[in-house]
Chain A
Amino acid sequence: MVNLKKIKDEFLLKLNEKLNLSEINLIKTELFGKNGLVSSEFKKIGTIPEQERKKFASDLNIVKDELQELINSKINEIEISEINEKLKKEKIDVTLPERSFVQGKIHPVSQTIDEISSIFSEIGFNVEEGPDVENEYNNFTALNTPDNHPARDMHDTFYLDKNKEKLLRTHTSPVQIRTMKKDKPPFKIIAPGRTYRSDSDQTHSPMFHQVEGLHIDKDINMSHLKGCLNYFIKEFFEVDKIKMRFRPSHFPFTEPSAEVDIGYEIKDGKIVIGEGDKWLEILGCGMVHPNVLKNVKVNPEKYQGYAFGIGIDRLAMLKYGINDLRSFFECDYRWLNHFGFDPLDVPTNYRGLSR
């Protein structure tokens, strides 16, 4: 008994001194090692007379637990203080710059094409494409613009041969022809892409982008056209209200033809779509001319519908406040970075068109 108490008191005293980790470990061995003081006491249990044995064992366990607990808490204390010590030394300036990274961007024209596709996807249009080099027939003749038609003058065309049979398409409308020749009605397509005219100044660029729309079915009329474009413009500019005006115009491949203006005003030097009393022309459209349908072997008695053509670059300029058309194609890194979009910013129906 005396022995136990002696051990306990002696070591409690020892452990209360300031110790380092190895000193504590030494004490631990002294007590609980193979031949440690406490371990030795446990070996004695068998030799203790029956009637004292129970109490001895119980006392021994109490002493063991007490010492062990103290040792553990001491070790823990030291470890924590060591970590704290280490942390103090490891303080760095986190305001130093991070490792360098480069951020890629999607060109505003590409982003706008995706926005347009997303809107028309929702109302059942699918995307068709055609080649940049076209033949004269698909670009003009099949679109009811014969060789002697003055409307051809409005297209300053790039030609690839002397006979003027091969050219860079002046609009995306030949995709109408290709699509209707290839498949059977109904048709409900959009066709975005590059288009070319030999014209270059502040507002014209020899290459630009258009999106064609075509919806042919049995009973598609001008009300559907108006409804579709109204929907598109509202969705595209992400406004609740728009002012839209249909104006009679002329395109050889549509009859009746219209140009569409949207209302806008200038507020604090920025263009605001949907308000004000100024008009801005944004697209051309109309009911597909029966001659065009005949040219692609679609019976105009049975099928009718509308087509439209929109300048993509212009839409992008309006929506994102870009002033100079030519800057789209000058590839100034700073411009691309400023007007470009994050590649993860994919326009979708459910997530929204733009951030």
Chain B
Amino acid sequence: MKITFDWLKDHLQTKNSENQLIEKLTDIGLEVESIENTSDLDKFVVAKIHKSEKHPNADRLKVCNVDIGEKKMIKVVCGASNANEGLLTIYAPPGAIIPKNKMKIVITQIRGITSQGMLCSESELNLSDESDGICELKQNQYKNKIGKKYFTKNTSNLIDLSITPNRSDCLGVRGIARDLSAAGFGKLKNKINKIRSKGKQRVSIKILKEKNQGCTIFGSCLVTNVQNTESPKWLKDKLISIGQKPISAIVDITNYVMLDLNRPLHAYDADKIKKGIVVRNSKKGERFKALDNKEYVLEEGMCVISDNMGVLGLGGIIGGTRSGTELNTKNILIESAYFEPRSIRKTSKLLSIDTDAKFRFERGIDPISIEDGLIKSANLIKDICGGEISKIDIQKTKRYKEKNINFETKLFEKIAGFKISNKKILDILNNLGFKIKVNKNFLNLKVPTWRPDIEQPIDVVEELVRIYGYNKIEKIDPIKIRSKPTLNKTQRLFHFLQRSIASKGYQEAITWSFTDSKVNDLFKSNMKDIEIINPISSDLNVLRNSIFSNLIMYLNKNLDRGIKDLSLFEIGPVFHGSNPGDQETVVGGLRSGKVSRLSWVEKDRNVDVFDIKKDVIQTLIEAGYSKSKIFIDDQAPNYYHPGKSGRIFLSKEKDKVAAYFGEIHPNVLKKIDIKTEALIGFEIFVDNLKKTKRSLKDQKKTYRVSDFQKSERDFAFIIDRNFKSQELIEIISNIDKELIGGVNIFDIYEGENIPNDMKSIALNVTIQSMSKTLNERDLEKINKLIIDTVENKTGAKIRS
């Protein structure tokens, strides 16, 4: 909502300054979004073309000597065909800003001739749509004003307010003035409600009583024998001052009344209405051409204003071209009606129409303002266009039900936390337009008709705090008591994993929850697309099924930036359905490139599966899961390299997958066109990790270590090539849990001296007793037991 202080003063008597106004507006909840300095318009001056010659280097341009009221003439290059000698026009000097396109004028060379400014068209100054040629000012009116400012009335700045959706009453200047006066900022002036009317309104108006009829009151007034014309300067200036474009007197007047009183009106050419107006619900398929020059096909049940020939307009939203006023219109029917917000909203959404009238009706218009609007507009039309005003006709299908609220004043303190006197309460409510009956324990309040948002006592509290001042609210310092833990177990795990992964050299990324279905396809396995009906762009059209869908693209962008060795991770939601809760939290990480690239001290190598396996396992162990229970197999989804990937379970029972890890499938790299030496990834499924009920203090076992001598023995077994080392370690560990403290594989060998389909695994076993120092015989015994067990259980042979 745009206003100026000058316009506000039409309704408000005040001695305060504009700065005080701006502060007050914000204080009462009418937030000042911006202040546009209209003094920019001061730069435009009346000028006379003294001489006009063809541009030596351009056929269509003219070089004008322009009199701008200074001693010296200036030169302006102009392309307008009407830039002729003697013309009075409007000149924009260097530094001026053209209202239409916000272009700043500078001194410039045009085909070799210096142009010191610009001569303006009406369109460029937002005076009209006329863009053919420059302004032609009337000789008798302007010949003595050369060099004077063209815009005279614009001393007041343009104030742009952000009006919240509940405050429809402030979508008109008078409503804002009323609110300001209630807050003690000046006195509200009385409104004019005299009308010089004669005769009956003779266009018949009928509202059909239908289900869900969107129009409940239709007020109208006929002005006959008018001469539509250009608006007078005061009216043009007023509209221009808030950035609106004057069109013709009739249109400007309806706009002006809407902006001034927040009362949308519609003007019909009464002679184009065939046999009276019927307000009714539309039928499916009805068509009409609206004033925005678009043809609309209607659904059933939209509120239309119609006549014998069909639809004239969509009530409260937009009029039609068939009955629009023109410069030669003789008789005008002014409509001032009440439309239900719900109906307006539904229709405008279905047809995607947004107009100033729609914006106001859907927020709720004062039903009692119907007459005010007719009076003000009819009087103005008569003043400007002449003619005769008929009596006002009002058709109603529903009586307006006034709202009553019983308000206990103690509610104020209960909510606001401080006290104000009853007198103050009464003053504020009175000034806001409430009608008050004082009862013993409460106030009976009749809510002003222009406040559809006030429905219950709490709304009254807001009005009181708002006007009295939010700055009066005290501060009570918070109490530092905690009765519940801040984070639950899952949240703590989330937090821990996030920092644990980062501590392994990964940079945390945050990417969109939605992604490109084409990339997502590579990672979604057998899940279905979860489409967004209205995506922001076609490459963000589905919810991600995998943490990799976005991460891999961003990794690739970083590769494109020339960064080769990357470790990125994200912790966040991935989705497996479109219902609330069809999501799980995943930590996903990707590593590319090499380890120790360009290092003088170590030989570089590509990152590999065992790097990332280490990251995952270490993280899980740090998070409290037992290494000895972790179980791994080689089944990973199809976006991993089938031979170089695996699954991690927290126990041998394999109930839920804790994580995947592995090399990313070369096909994926090929499809996304990723160029890197190596790309490996992991996913940890946070929701699949069991949260132990016991806290850490209960989990710690008794501390038990052995101080007896420790022995180590090395073994090498020749074993089936496909035999999993995990199983071999398990077999050996289980031989004697008391004695065998650790099993480490230190070499894997295939090739010469080893039969085909076999491999050699060399391992080191730590043997230590809790109760004695083992002698050679004890050691020999366990040695033999290890060899026998492994050979028996696995078919392996000890390598001699």
What residues make up the interface of A, taking CB atoms closer than 8 Å to B? 96-97, 99-107, 109-110, 114, 117, 120-127, 129, 131-135, 138, 148-151, 153-154, 158-162, 164, 166, 168, 188, 194, 196, 198-200, 206-207, 219, 221-224, 226-228, 230-231, 245-250, 252, 255-259, 287, 289-290, 304, 328-334, 336-337, 340, 343-344, 346
Contact flag A222-B417 (CB < 8 Å), given A133-B583, A194-B572: yes
Q: Report the bound CA distance from A96 to B535 in whole Å.
A: 53
What distance in Å separates the Cβ of A26 from its nearest Cβ neighbour in chain B?
Answer: 37
Known: A124-B482, A132-B573, A256-B461. 6 other contacts (CB 8 A): A104-B506, A160-B531, A207-B514, A252-B166, A331-B551, A332-B557
Contact flag A226-B475 (CB < 8 Å), given A102-B567, A104-B506: yes
CB nearest neighbor in B for A245: B471
List B contacts of A164 (CB < 8 A). Answer: 533
7 A–B contacts from the bound complex (CB under 8 Å): A126-B485, A133-B575, A150-B362, A159-B533, A227-B477, A249-B31, A337-B507
CB nearest neighbor in A for B478: A123
The tally of residues in B whose CB lies under 8 Å from a CB in A reads: 100
Asked if residues A223 and B578 are in contact (CB atoms below 8 Å), the reply is no
CB of B473 within 8 A of chain A?
A: yes
What distance in Å separates the Cβ of A230 from its nearest Cβ neighbour in chain B?
Answer: 5
Contacts of B547-587 to chain A: CB distance below 8 A: 551, 554-555, 557-558, 561, 563, 565-568, 572-573, 575, 578-583
Contacts of B495-511 to chain A: CB distance below 8 A: 495, 498-511
What residues make up the interface of B, taking CB atoms closer than 8 Å to A? 26-29, 31, 164-167, 341-342, 345-346, 362-363, 414-418, 456, 458-459, 461-462, 465-466, 470-471, 473-488, 491, 495, 498-514, 530-536, 540, 543, 551, 554-555, 557-558, 561, 563, 565-568, 572-573, 575, 578-583, 595-597, 599-602
Asked if residues A196 and B513 are in contact (CB atoms below 8 Å), the reply is yes
Interface of B, helix, strand, loop or mixed by DSSP: loop
Of residues A96, A102, A120, A133, which shows the largest number of chain B Cβ atoms within 10 Å of its Cβ? Answer: A133
Q: Report the bound CA distance from A227 to B52 in whole Å.
A: 71
List B contacts of A100 (CB < 8 A). Answer: 595-597, 599, 602
Asked if residues A124 and B480 are in contact (CB atoms below 8 Å), the reply is yes
Cross-interface CB contact of B498 among A106, A134, A255, A332, cutoff 8 Å: A106
Asked if residues A117 and B486 are in contact (CB atoms below 8 Å), the reply is yes
Asked if residues B532 and A158 are in contact (CB atoms below 8 Å), the reply is yes
Asked if residues A194 and B479 are in contact (CB atoms below 8 Å), the reply is no
Asked if residues A161 and B583 are in contact (CB atoms below 8 Å), the reply is no
List B contacts of A102 (CB < 8 A). Answer: 505, 565, 567
What distance in Å separates the Cβ of A249 from its nearest Cβ neighbour in chain B?
Answer: 6
Cross-interface CB contact of A256 among B466, B482, B498, cutoff 8 Å: B466
Asked if residues A158 and B486 are in contact (CB atoms below 8 Å), the reply is no
Asked if residues A223 and B513 are in contact (CB atoms below 8 Å), the reply is no
Asked if residues A223 and B596 are in contact (CB atoms below 8 Å), the reply is no
Asked if residues B458 and A255 are in contact (CB atoms below 8 Å), the reply is yes
Q: Report the bound CA distance from A200 to B567 in whole Å.
A: 28
List A contacts of B495 (CB < 8 A). Answer: 114
List B contacts of A246 (CB < 8 A). Answer: 470-471, 473
What distance in Å separates the Cβ of A100 from its nearest Cβ neighbour in chain B?
Answer: 5
What distance in Å separates the Cβ of B541 from its nearest Cβ neighbour in chain A?
Answer: 10
Asked if residues B508 and A161 are in contact (CB atoms below 8 Å), the reply is no
Total A-B contacts with CB atoms under 8 angstroms apart: 268
Cross-interface CB contact of A247 among B31, B462, B477, B554, cutoff 8 Å: B31
List A contacts of B563 (CB < 8 A). Answer: 333-334
Q: Report the bound CA distance from A109 to B600 in whole Å.
A: 37
List A contacts of B535 (CB < 8 A). Answer: 158, 198
Q: Report the bound CA distance from A168 to B541 in whole Å.
A: 13
Contact flag A231-B477 (CB < 8 Å), given A221-B415, A332-B561: yes
Q: Report the bound CA distance from A104 to B510 in whole Å.
A: 14
What distance in Å separates the Cβ of A327 from its nearest Cβ neighbour in chain B?
Answer: 11
The 7 A-B residue pairs with the shortest CB-CB distance in the complex, in nearest-first order? A248-B29, A223-B417, A102-B505, A250-B164, A256-B462, A331-B554, A221-B417
Contact flag A124-B557 (CB < 8 Å), given A131-B581, A159-B532, A246-B471: no
What distance in Å separates the Cβ of A325 from its nearest Cβ neighbour in chain B?
Answer: 12
Cross-interface CB contact of A131 among B346, B459, B583, cutoff 8 Å: B583
Q: Report the bound CA distance from A86 to B597 in whole Å.
A: 32
What distance in Å separates the Cβ of A31 from its nearest Cβ neighbour in chain B?
Answer: 38
List A contacts of B484 (CB < 8 A). Answer: 124, 126, 188
Asked if residues A104 and B508 are in contact (CB atoms below 8 Å), the reply is yes
Q: Report the bound CA distance from A120 to B345 in whole Å.
A: 40
Asked if residues A222 and B415 are in contact (CB atoms below 8 Å), the reply is yes
CB nearest neighbor in A for B465: A256
Q: Report the bound CA distance from A336 to B540 in whole Å.
A: 22
Asked if residues A224 and B476 are in contact (CB atoms below 8 Å), the reply is yes
